[in-house]
Amino acid sequence: MSEKRKRVYEALLDGATEGLSSKALYDFVLRRCPKATSKKIVRASLLALSDPHVRDRNVLHTIYALAIAHRMDEVGSASDPDDEEDPAEKSPVLRKLKKKAPSASAPREATPN
């Protein structure tokens, strides 16, 4: 995990553990990590949801609600230059589907009448 994502993750857990939720939690994370974007906060939320050490149901529910609320913030926004993932890289599933899909230039079979 990158250092930046780890700081956002820790701020998210600290705020949720203190009982913050919704806008208060989002603001808390932004105060601790001023350069955090909605995209980074959503990704840190997903890390927290998959962390086996986080077991408090209320904390998990709060983090989940924040991730859902801010998921749409990242749609349509410019790509994050700090993000280490390559947005041009296709997922393995899409690669498989493209290989299986018939090409548009392939001749179609005649259907009997």
Question: Domain-by-domain residue ranges, the chain?
Answer: 3-75
Q: What is the pLDDT of residue 93?
A: 56
Name the CA radius of gyration of the chain, rounded.
20
Cβ–Cβ < 8 Å for 1, 47: yes
Residues 17 and 59 sit within 8 Å (Cβ to Cβ):
yes
Angle at 98 between CA 106 and CA 89, to 5 degrees: 140
The DSSP symbol for 92 reads H
pTM: 0.61
Band of pLDDT at residue 25, cut at 50, 70 and 90: very high
Distance, in Å, from the CA atom of 5 to the CA atom of 89, rounded to the nearest integer, reads: 21
pLDDT at 17: 92
Q: Is the pLDDT of residue 77 over 80?
A: no
Percent of the chain with pLDDT over 70: 62
Contact (CB, 8 A) for 20 and 61:
no
